[in-house]
């Protein structure tokens, strides 16, 4: 048995599930816990964890998929950029199928735009170095886990003296949307399964204000099945005891103070700003834009381009799904008009999107 297998041990997992069932047996109202990280969404579906939990515990998905929370306006700008003859767009794969107002990057690629999937932003920097007559734009999307690598790519491009590498930045940061959701009177959240790797960067202390202001339990939880169920057990115990504190289940990786070096890099290269979230709106201080001293690398400033008028997709419930208010199965478009091949909303596109996971792995 290797290291990761031990976190997928059937007996351990089922023992945890039994303990959760015993703790919650006979509760008149189910406890509702929300995960706000796409990797948790995937793990829960992939291992069929909902099928192991008692009816007294309900897991819902929040705005944890970076592709899903990226607004149409961002996609429209990326599409406008890719139509420029000397621009090469580089991106992680999932962004390609996300529909903008009237097109998608995949469609633009089929029409001849130069769009390449890379596995690291440093590959995009290398591409810029090899193609001095082109402007290489990396689509910088993601939470605090991805942002430091993109900060690193800007620093690398600067160190190499490159003037043809740019980032179209739409980074999001984590605790703020959880506060918005906690303040929403229409939404019942009895505890948060806090992100694993985001917390490794920002530190578990970042969630304290949620516990204090909104009296909601927070447990920083790992991605393996035993992690998730142990996180759920800790949330159940807090909820039953009427407590609200931050606990770290994922103690093999996450510290209270986080990763100081990554935090310093983010503070150097980026500046917090009021970011637009798909379906949720503009949240104060919830995103990262490129800091003024690195403005030469900011695609939005350095490559002016006309962006088409914003059109939202009618009938798509992405926004409500991202807030955990409805499940994908409640959306009238799910599985019919909206499928992974012809997605209406971003939640159906990303491999970590709630709708895509629900479509692939079922209820």
Partner 1 sequence: MNNDLILLGHGSGGRLSHQLLDELIIPQLSSVPVAGQNDAALLNIGGIKLAFSTDSYVVDPVFFPGGNIGDLAINGTVNDLAMMGARPLCLSVGFILEEGFSKAELARILASMREAADAAGVAIVTGDTKVVPKGKGDRIFINTSGIGAVEHNLHIDGASAQVGDKVIVNGSIGDHGIAVLSAREGLEIDSGIQSDSAPLNGLVADLLPLGPALHVLRDPTRGGVATTLKEIALQSGVTITLDEKSLPVNPGVKGVCSILGLDPLYVANEGKLLAFVAPEQAEAALAAMRRHPLGKDAAIIGEVTETSAGKVQMETLVGGVRGVEMLAGEQLPRIC
- Residue owning tokens 């599930």: 17
Binding to partner 1 by CB under 8 A, coded x per residue (else -) over 283-322, reads ----------------------------------------
Closer Cβ to partner 1, 2 or 28, answer by number = 2
When binding is defined by CB under 8 A, the residue of 119, 130, 161, 241 that contacts partner 1 is: 119
Closer Cβ to partner 1, 45 or 192, answer by number = 45
Task: List all residues 6 or more positions away from 1 whose beta carbon is below 8 Å from its beta carbon.
Answer: none
Binding to partner 1 by CB under 8 A, coded x per residue (else -) over 142-171, reads xx-xx-------------------------
Binding positions for partner 1, 175-214, rule CB under 8 A: 197
Based on the shown chain and the rule CB under 8 A, indicate whether residue 18 belongs to the binding site for partner 1.
Answer: no
Are 155 and 270 in contact, with CB atoms under 8 Å apart?
Answer: no
Task: List all residues 6 or more positions away from 98 whose beta carbon is below 8 Å from its beta carbon.
Answer: 67, 70, 75, 104, 105, 343, 346, 349, 350
What is the four-CA torsion angle of 203, 58, 237, 5, rounded to 10 degrees? -60
Closer Cβ to partner 1, 145 or 259, answer by number = 145
When binding is defined by CB under 8 A, the residue of 38, 121, 217, 258 that contacts partner 1 is: 38
When binding is defined by CB under 8 A, the residue of 6, 160, 251, 342 that contacts partner 1 is: 342
Closer Cβ to partner 1, 51 or 133, answer by number = 51
Closest approach of partner 1 to the CB of residue 18, in Å: 11
DSSP type of residue 160: T
Based on the shown chain and the rule CB under 8 A, indicate whether residue 2 belongs to the binding site for partner 1.
Answer: yes
Phi and psi torsions of 69, nearest 5°: -90, 0
Q: Give how far Cα 197 sits from Cα of 150, 168, 221, Å.
A: 16, 23, 9
For the sheet with 87-91, list strands across it. 115-117, 87-91, 135-142, 165-172, 281-290, 270-277
Question: Within the chain, what is the greatest distance between any pair of CA atoms?
Answer: 68
Closest approach of partner 1 to the CB of residue 297, in Å: 20
Based on the shown chain and the rule CB under 8 A, indicate whether residue 216 belongs to the binding site for partner 1.
Answer: no
DSSP 192-231: EEE-SHHHHHH-GGGGHHHHHHH---EEE--SSHHHHHHH
When binding is defined by CB under 8 A, the residue of 9, 268, 312, 320 that contacts partner 1 is: 9
Based on the shown chain and the rule CB under 8 A, indicate whether residue 111 belongs to the binding site for partner 1.
Answer: yes
Phi and psi torsions of 315, nearest 5°: 85, -10
* Binding segment (CB under 8 A) for partner 1, from list 46-54, 201-209, 259-267, 314-322: 46-54
Closer Cβ to partner 1, 164 or 170, answer by number = 170
Closest approach of partner 1 to the CB of residue 50, in Å: 8
**CA pair distance 178, 198, nearest whole angstrom:** 14
Closest approach of partner 1 to the CB of residue 65, in Å: 8
Are 84 and 114 in contact, with CB atoms under 8 Å apart?
Answer: no
CA 161 from chain center: how many Å? 32
Binding positions for partner 1, 53-72, rule CB under 8 A: 66-67
Size of the residue set binding partner 1 (CB under 8 A): 57
Which segments within the chain are labelled E, that is strand? 31-35, 57-61, 87-91, 115-117, 135-142, 165-172, 191-194, 218-220, 246-248, 270-277, 281-290
Q: List contacts with partner 1 (CB under 8 A).
A: 2, 4, 8-10, 13-14, 38-39, 45-52, 66-67, 92-97, 99, 103-104, 106-107, 109-111, 117-119, 123, 141-143, 145-146, 197, 225, 339-342, 350-352, 356, 359-363
């Amino acid at each position: 048995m290797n290291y990761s297998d031990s976190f997928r041990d059937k007996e351990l997992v089922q023992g945890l599930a039994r303990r959760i069932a015993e703790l919650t047996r006979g509760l008149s109202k189910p406890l509702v816990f929300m995960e706000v990280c796409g990797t948790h969404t995937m793990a829960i579906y992939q291992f069929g964890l909902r099928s192991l939990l008692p009816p007294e515990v309900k897991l819902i998905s929040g705005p944890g998929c970076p592709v899903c929370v990226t607004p149409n306006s961002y996609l429209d700008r990326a599409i406008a950029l890719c139509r420029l003859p000397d621009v090469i767009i580089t991106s992680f794969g999932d962004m390609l199928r996300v529909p903008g107002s009237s097109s998608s990057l995949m469609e633009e690629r089929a029409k001849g735009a130069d769009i390449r999937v890379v596995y690291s932003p440093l590959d995009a920097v290398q591409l810029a170095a090899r193609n001095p007559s082109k402007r290489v734009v990396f689509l910088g999307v993601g939470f605090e886990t991805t942002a430091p690598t993109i900060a690193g790519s800007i620093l690398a491009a600067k160190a190499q003296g490159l003037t043809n590498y740019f980032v179209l930045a739409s980074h999001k940061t984590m605790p703020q949307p959880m506060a918005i959701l906690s303040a929403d009177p229409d939404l019942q959240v009895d505890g948060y399964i806090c992100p694993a790797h985001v917390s490794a960067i920002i530190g578990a202390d970042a969630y304290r204000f949620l516990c204090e202001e909104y009296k909601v339990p927070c447990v920083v939880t790992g991605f393996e099945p035993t992690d998730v169920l142990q996180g759920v057990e800790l949330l159940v115990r807090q909820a039953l005891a009427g407590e609200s504190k931050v606990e770290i289940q994922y103690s093999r990786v996450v510290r209270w103070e986080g990763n100081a070096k990554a935090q310093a890099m983010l503070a150097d290269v980026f500046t917090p700003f009021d970011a637009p979230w798909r379906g949720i709106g503009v949240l104060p201080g919830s995103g990262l834009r490129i800091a003024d001293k690195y403005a030469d690398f900011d695609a939005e400033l350095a490559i002016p381009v006309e962006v088409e008028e914003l059109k939202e997709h009618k009938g798509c419930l992405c926004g409500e799904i991202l807030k955990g208010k409805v499940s994908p199965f409640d959306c009238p478009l799910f599985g019919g008009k909206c499928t992974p091949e012809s997605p209406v909303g971003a939640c159906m596109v990303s491999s970590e999107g709630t709708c895509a996971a629900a479509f692939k792995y079922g209820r």
